[in-house]
Amino acid sequence: MAQQSGSSAQIIIDTETTFGSVPAAPNAFVLPFVSESLRQSRTFVTSKTIHSNRNPSKPARGNVEVSGDINFELAPEYGLLFKHIFGSVSTSGTGPYNHTFKIAELPVSMIVEKAYTNLASAKYFRYLGCRVNSFKLSARTEGAIDCSVSLMGKKEVISGESFDATETDLGHTPFDSMDAEIYENNAILATITEIDFTLENGLDGSNYVIDRTGQRRSLPSGTTRVSGNVRAVFEDTTLYDKAIANTETIMKIVLLKGSGAGTVTNEKFELVVPELYFSPNAPVVTGPAGVVVELPFEGFYSNDAEASAMYAVLSTPSSAAQMGIS
């Protein structure tokens, strides 16, 4: 029997029109990934029945839990996923295109399918009714821009064939840290060694009903939470002073391929938190090496013109239709 190889596995995603149902007209896109933990699980509820001996009674079935993470390296081809992370997308331009993703009501849901084709009989694990509970982006001084999404869903279905045999593969041309610039208050900040951005959608995963399935009936989203952390070489107290004074500021990461004009090999990605406060966290000396300052931050929406506590702009030669986000 052939063992499935992780290097041969494939993930495809598509937007559902009805929560937990395969789209009638599939338009799936390949999702390149690093690792994943999306799966269905189910616990047992221990019986409380007392017998005339100490043996346990048959347990009852618990609810179905569909959840897990997908880890990936950021690239210009993830437009469809970003629509499900933020909720809304607007597109300007006629080629190149600027796709702006903002916090809004999330799309109905998406289907995520894992293909295991090395098996003697190929199997496709479908996860229906999936929504993004949280998203994280992390940049360091070298290497890829690491991202992850945490998903929750309704159910798992295993099939012998894919729900879309003609999926679109946009390729994968990842950004790396040498493409990155960090801005604070719209000025380049050259002292950052690490930065993290997190968006949480606050999904309510408790909506189970008595319908003989044990599956979630819905996954409503809550108020978003935007947060992050910066780690910087300690050369002055500028950032720490802003934390102490509770001074509102802006953090942004800009990733540029070539000129960043949005044409082929010149793609651009921006992730912006336009209103935030740093939390005071004084630098400490942990040894003889150089001292760093690490400051968590919390984003919010008050009066910024973009009306989104976090937003992203992707400049690319691909249109909304080509990326499946129209």
Q: pLDDT tens track of the chain, all 326 residues?
A: 689 999 999 999 999 999 999 999 999 999 999 999 999 999 999 999 998 899 999 999 999 999 999 999 999 999 999 999 999 999 999 999 999 999 999 999 999 999 999 999 999 999 999 999 999 999 999 999 999 999 999 999 999 999 999 999 999 999 999 999 999 999 999 999 999 999 999 999 999 999 999 999 999 999 999 999 999 999 999 999 999 999 999 999 999 999 999 999 999 999 999 999 999 999 999 999 999 999 999 999 999 999 999 999 999 999 999 999 99
In degrees rounded to 5, what are phi and psi of residue 183?
-120, 140
**Is the peptide bond prior to 96 cis by the omega test (within 30 degrees of 0)?**
yes
Per-residue confidence (pLDDT) for residue 2, from 0 to 100 = 83
Q: Could you give phi then psi for residue 6, rounded to 5 degrees?
A: -60, -30
Residue 76 DSSP code = T
Residue 262: burial class (beta carbons within 10 Å; 0-12, 13-18, 19+): buried
Helix (H) or strand (E) holding 82: helix 79-86
Compute CA 318 distance to the chain's CA centroid, rounded to the nearest angstrom: 21
Q: How far apart are CA 113 and CA 157, in angstroms?
A: 9
- Nearest Cα to Cα of residue 220 among 137, 309, 154: 154
Tokens of 210: 């008595």
Is the overall model pTM greater than 0.75, yes or no? yes
* Strand, helix or coil for residue 268: strand
Strands (E), 108-224: 109-116, 123-139, 146-153, 155-159, 180-184, 187-188, 192-200
What pLDDT is recorded for position 155?
98
The SS3 of residue 148 is strand
